[in-house]
Amino acid sequence: MTLLGSTNTENKMSSPQDEWKNKLTPEQYKICRLGGTESPFSGKYNKHYEKGSYICVACGQELFSSTTKFDSGSGWPSFTDVMNSKNVKLIDDYSYNMHRVEVQCSKCNSHLGHVFDDGPPPTGKRWCINSVSLDFKPL
Ligand code: FE
């Protein structure tokens, strides 16, 4: 696991975007920094039910607990809640002629996925998150 939260302040020639390109794999860059979406049922955490926490792959901030993970059938890792609401940012997303709520990491602004109102109890929320945006920390 690589944590990528620190920025290189000594190299003034590289832009923040260049730094992310160097620190992330091309797939991670596309999803985390360009707001892409992994193919459904392709991600390594879709059917993953070990105990622990899911963290931001780009900066290491804790995001989701395995205790809130459920199989939504969507093909993406799904959670009923976030570990701490301060750790995510919610942004209205009007792409593709619809209104969705985008979820970003509050620390590094990486794109994580979207949150929907059709989840199971107790929250009724379905946090639909790309595996590529996550890393897993076992309990
Ligand atoms: Fe992050």
* pLDDT at residue 4, rounded to an integer: 55
In the set 56, 105, 108, 128, the catalytic residue is 128
* pLDDT at residue 16, rounded to an integer: 81
pLDDT band at 24 (very low <50, low <70, confident <90, very high): very high
Cα 32 to ligand 1 centre (Å): 9
In 7-139, which ranges are continuous DSSP H helix? 16-23, 26-28
| CA-to-CA dists, residue 49 to 44, 71, 109, angstroms | 11, 10, 26
131, β-bridge pairs: none
Cα 94 to ligand 1 centre (Å): 23
In the chain, which ranges are continuous DSSP H helix? 16-23, 26-28
| CA-to-CA dists, residue 93 to 44, 55, 98, 102, angstroms | 25, 23, 8, 6
Q: Which protein residues have a CB closer than 5 Å to ligand 1 (ion)?
A: 56, 58-59, 61, 105, 107-108, 110
Cα 106 to ligand 1 centre (Å): 7
Cα 93 to ligand 1 centre (Å): 19
Helix (H, G, I), strand (E, B) or coil at 65: strand
Mean predicted confidence (pLDDT) in 61-83: 98
* Residue 116 clears pLDDT 90, i.e. is over it: yes
* pLDDT at residue 12, rounded to an integer: 54
The pair of three-digit structure tokens given for residue 73, joined into one six-digit string: 């059938």
128 flagged as catalytic = yes
Cα 121 to ligand 1 centre (Å): 27
* pLDDT at residue 108, rounded to an integer: 97
Mean predicted confidence (pLDDT) in 29-55: 97
Domains in the chain with CATH codes: 39-138 (2.170.150.20)
